[in-house]
Amino acid sequence: MNGNEIRRADQAGRLSGRVALVTGAAHNIGASIALRLAEEGAAVAVVDIDSVGAKDLCQRIVDAGGQAFPAAGDLTDIKDVDRLFSEVETALGTVDVLVNNAYTRVSESCFQPFLGVAPEHWQRFISANTTMFFACSQRMARRLASEGRPGSIVNISSHGAARAHREQIPYDAVKGAMESFTRAVAVDLAPWGIRANAIRPGSINVEDGRMDWNSGDLQHAQIPLGRQGTPQDVANAVLFLSSNEADYVTGQVFNIDGGMAAQARAPQVEPHAPAGPETFTQFSETLLGE
């Protein structure tokens, strides 16, 4: 995204008048989400443990004519979450769009075969990560309910909630909990007009290369649309779920994955070679008589 695309205050956008808080927003997917929401008129609270990165992103938004506020805090501490929201409310107003994007690895010891995961590391990981999306969602929802205002919660999940990663059991467990939490919160908060949905990104090519596959053949095999996703692809979905266009959408999980979840198996293991654009002419002549 070009920062010059961010709308100025006098331009109407799909989120004009809204205040959005994005956690883990200084880099990668979180940064793209913050920029996209700002582009459509939202005042954005950029929350990240990297305070320098958060300030830099806010400056980009402000320089382009948007409104942003950098905030840092311990999202695993419910009292600190309350303080953080109070600061954001003073600076920008009541938060009515929350994007729970942040998660913390806590301990690398969790990322190994199941039999090697120490119970104390498991407990820290699960507690820290589930507390973040619980505490932020509850703090936002209580304020909105007290003011009689609707809102939107968007949780950034993972394919790991439905299909296992090897040697990432705590991570997959947290994302599964996040999706169950999303559905339960959506039902509980519906009387107040507060919606909750989740997004499952597929393989997203981020700047630090953590999900950048080296094999083009593998990428094509796993993704029917034939390319990795970008942070912007995820941000566009968040924008939709945050806007009035999704007013009748709640309790849902959206796969933003180029068709990965829809595909039963990779083309290489199909009993015959799947058809593609390169075989269209042949199929047309054979099946359609052209």
Calpha distance 236→28 (Å, rounded): 14
Indicate which residue of 122, 133, 171, 254 is catalytic: 171
Calpha distance 121→79 (Å, rounded): 23
Closest CA relative to residue 99, chosen from 130, 60, 140: 140
Instruction: Provide φ and ψ at 162, rounded to 5°.
Output: -120, -25
Classified as helix, coil or strand, 179 is helix
Instruction: Provide φ and ψ at 216, rounded to 5°.
Output: -65, -35
Is 248 marked active-site? no
DSSP-derived secondary structure for 91-142: HH----EEEE-------GGGSS-GGG--HHHHHHHHHHHHHHHHHHHHHHHH
Calpha distance 73→24 (Å, rounded): 11
Q: Catalytic positions, please? A: 171
